């Protein structure tokens, strides 16, 4: 289980995430939504260890990982699919996937099983990652994260800049990941997409939690998303 | 010596230059760090070899120096790991300036510490006259056995490193860290550790170069600057970031120098080497093997 307790993150003087708390049960799925600049990506980076916490703590199965560098958190089972995919461009697709063996975690995901469920990635295995289309890159980035056999998968804006058909394919793949017992924290700008993928929603507005709950009403979400009298 | 002999001689000299240049090129390719103390560390390795072969002198030639080398190379490599991890790592940034200043300072410190502890006398490493003067007669010219062994060693080491880079998990991680260090942590590998191992490899190579050069020519605490310049020239002529290009560049530099020594005068060989390097810089600034920072 992933717990985020009263986390604040600032870039210099500029606060990006303020006092956010959330819980993600083992095998669960939670969508963090919010407008541009609401602090969603920063929150995921803070959980993964790519930006330092200003305050608060991140716990994985009760263990405080707040002070650990990113690679140690990956080895403990927190995998981030970063914003913008961040593939190693000069490496082939297969080499990108193999780098994740550095996490030294065993589990259901291997080169073979990832290729089996993501034929799009398998077909491009010897291509250089820099030569892939956006959708192929996104699928490869997810595959690379899965190769670490994570307990928690953090997905940052996986639909950004992709064609609707590709987005649908990627979201259709999420249940397959959860079947293996991996819990998912996904960040999404598209409220409809997010609420379809997850019943539990956490809405951020200017770095703060503006709404959180299960099976929320779309009107409430919209208010929390853009900021209104109720928020 | 005839011209053909000079060319053969230059190609052999290229072996040592390639060893000098490979470490420099490798560190630049992996962490975008130009190590201005690279030559100074070669000199450190040569002196370490000198002191240790003195300590092992009971083994006679060539056992003393070979044993000294077997200790020196891993020690210098380990020093490279520690230096990268605890000093150079914190100089890495968008700007190349901090690492240039720190390594430049290191070069000066090393030279002066060596002057104080080892004096300014020129020294030489000894493998014994038999090995150092042994040569193979090819009819039209004769080639030295020791330079030939060093060239073959350079080819084997660079080839081995190329294979490691292309085929192994470590190689993949080095290339990944060269692409995007911030993202490497997400795979579970510590980018600082990968950098430091790469530095250890570069320092191991420079130790081999320093020892080999110490057998072939005299060295003194101030020799680092010349080693660094030859390494730079070989790297630029061959093409930055390409290990095979580096070997080719090193051979070209060696040939230019030895042909100049025969055709013109030995006094001009370094100057003409520099001029050829400048011509490459002007007309082929990406080197012969034109690749965009691939290892």
Reduced to 3 states, what is the DSSP secondary structure of residue A218?
Answer: helix
Q: State yes or no: pLDDT of B67 exceeds 90.
A: yes
Tell me the per-residue pLDDT of B209-228, one tens digit each, with 9 for 90 and over: 999 999 999 999 999 999 99
Contacts of A111 in chain B (CB under 8 A): none
Does any domain span residue B281?
Answer: no
Number of domains in chain B: 1
In terms of Cβ atoms closer than 10 Å to its own Cβ (0-12, 13-18, 19+), residue A47 is: buried
Give the pLDDT confidence of A134-147 residue by residue, as tens digits. Answer: 999 999 999 999 99
Instruction: Look at residue B31 and tell me if it is in a domain.
Output: yes
Burial of A13 (0-12, 13-18, 19+ CB in 10 A): exposed
Q: Provide the Cα torsion A112, A116, A120, A122; round to 10°.
A: 30
Residues 82-111, chain A, touching B (beta carbon < 8 A): 82, 86, 88-91, 95-96, 98-105
Query: Rounded to an integer, what distance in angstroms lies between the CA atom of residue B56 and that of residue A85?
Result: 56
Regions of chain A short of the pLDDT cut 50 = 230-231
Which residues in chain B are contacts of A50 at CB distance < 8 A? 182, 185-186
- Residue A81: name the closest of A66, A100, A61 by CA: A100
Tell me if B139 is assigned to some domain. yes
Work out the minimum CA distance from B176 to partner chain A, whole angstroms. 5
Is B197 a member of any domain?
Answer: yes
Average pLDDT over every residue of B5-34:
92
The pLDDT of residue B291 is 54
- From the list A50, A69, A102, the residue facing B187 with the nearest CB is A102
Query: How far B244 CA lies from chain A's nearest CA (Å)?
Result: 18
Is B246 among the domain residues? no
Question: Which residues lie closer than 8 Å to B195 by C-beta, 6 or more apart?
Answer: B30, B31, B84, B85, B89, B92, B177, B181
Cα(B259)–Cα(B8) distance, integer angstroms: 10
The alpha-carbon gap from A60 to the nearest alpha carbon of chain B, in Å, equals 16
Residue B104 lies in a domain: yes
Q: B225-260 as b/e, with b when 16 or more CB fall inside 10 Å?
A: ebbbbbbbbbbbbbbbbbbbbbbbbbbbbbbbbbbb
Among A22-26, B58-62, B253-257, name the one with the lowest average pLDDT. B58-62
**pLDDT tens-digit map of B169-182:** 999 999 999 999 99
Which residue segment(s) compose the domain that B51 sits in? 17-222
Tokens of B270: 């370094």
CB contact under 8 A, A148 and B176: no
Range in A219-228, B37-46, B245-254 the model is least confident about: A219-228
Pairing assessment for the beta strands A55-60 and A63-64 based on DSSP bridges: antiparallel
Average pLDDT over residues B140-162: 93
Q: Where are the beta strands (DSSP E) in B126-284?
A: 135-137, 142-144
pLDDT of B293 above 60: no
Question: Which residues in chain A have their CB less than 8 angstroms from residue B184's CB?
Answer: 71, 99
Structural domain contains residue B166: yes
Smallest Cβ–Cβ distance between A69 and the set B172, B173, B185 belongs to B185
The interface residues of chain A toward chain B in range 11-50, judged by CB-CB distance below 8 A, are 48-50
In a domain, B170, yes or no: yes
Q: How many CB pairs under 8 A join A and B?
A: 77
Residue B292: pLDDT over 60? no
């Amino acid at each position: 289980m992933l717990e985020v307790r009263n986390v604040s993150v600032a870039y210099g003087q500029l606060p990006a995430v303020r006092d956010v708390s959330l819980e993600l049960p083992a095998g669960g799925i939670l969508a963090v939504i919010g407008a541009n600049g609401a602090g969603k990506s920063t929150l995921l980076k803070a959980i993964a260890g790519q930006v330092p916490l200003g305050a608060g703590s991140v716990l994985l199965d009760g263990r405080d990982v707040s002070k650990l560098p990113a690679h140690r958190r990956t080895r403990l089972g927190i995998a981030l699919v970063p914003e913008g995919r961040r593939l190693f461009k000069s490496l082939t697709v297969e080499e990108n996937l193999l780098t994740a063996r550095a996490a030294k975690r065993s589990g259901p995901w291997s080169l073979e099983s990832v290729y089996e469920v993501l034929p799009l990635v398998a077909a491009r295995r010897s291509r250089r990652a820099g030569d892939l289309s956006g959708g192929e890159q996104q699928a490869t980035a997810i595959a690379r994260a899965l190769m670490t056999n994570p307990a928690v998968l953090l997905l940052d804006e996986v639909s950004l800049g992709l064609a609707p058909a590709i987005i649908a394919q990627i979201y259709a793949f999420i249940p397959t990941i959860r079947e293996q017992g991996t819990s998912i924290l996904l960040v999404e700008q598209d409220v409809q997409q997010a609420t379809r993928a997850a019943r539990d929603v956490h809405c951020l507005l200017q770095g703060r939690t503006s709404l959180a709950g299960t099976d929320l009403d779309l009107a409430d979400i919209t208010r929390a998303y853009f900021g209104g009298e109720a928020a | 010596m005839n011209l053909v002999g000079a060319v053969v001689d230059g190609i052999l000299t290229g072996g040592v230059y390639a060893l000098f240049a490979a470490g420099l090129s490798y560190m630049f390719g992996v962490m975008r760090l130009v190590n201005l103390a690279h030559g100074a560390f070669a000199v450190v390795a040569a002196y370490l070899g000198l002191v240790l072969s003195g300590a092992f002198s009971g083994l006679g030639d060539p056992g003393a120096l070979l044993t000294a080398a077997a200790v020196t190379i891993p020690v210098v490599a380990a020093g490279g790991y520690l230096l990268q991890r605890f000093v150079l790592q914190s100089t890495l940034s968008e700007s190349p300036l901090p690492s240039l200043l720190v390594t430049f300072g290191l070069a000066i410190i090393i030279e002066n510490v060596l002057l104080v502890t080892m004096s300014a006398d020129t020294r030489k490493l000894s493998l014994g006259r038999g090995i150092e003067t042994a040569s193979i007669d090819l009819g039209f010219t004769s080639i030295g056995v020791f330079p030939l062994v060093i060239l073959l060693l350079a080819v084997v080491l660079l080839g081995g490193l190329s294979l490691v880079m292309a085929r192994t998990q470590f190689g993949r991680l080095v290339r990944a860290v060269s692409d995007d260090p911030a993202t490497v942590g997400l795979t579970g590998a510590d980018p600082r550790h990968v950098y430091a191992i790469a530095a250890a490899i570069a320092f191991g190579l420079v130790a081999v170069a320093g020892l080999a050069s110490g057998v072939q020519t005299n060295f003194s605490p101030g020799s680092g600057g010349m080693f660094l310049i030859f390494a730079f020239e070989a790297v630029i002529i061959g093409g930055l970031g390409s290990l095979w290009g580096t070997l080719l560049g090193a051979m070209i530099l060696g040939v230019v120098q030895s042909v100049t020594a025969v055709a013109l005068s030995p006094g001009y060989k370094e100057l003409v080497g520099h001029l050829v390097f400048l011509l490459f810089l002007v007309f082929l600034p990406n080197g012969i093997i034109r690749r965009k920072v691939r290892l």
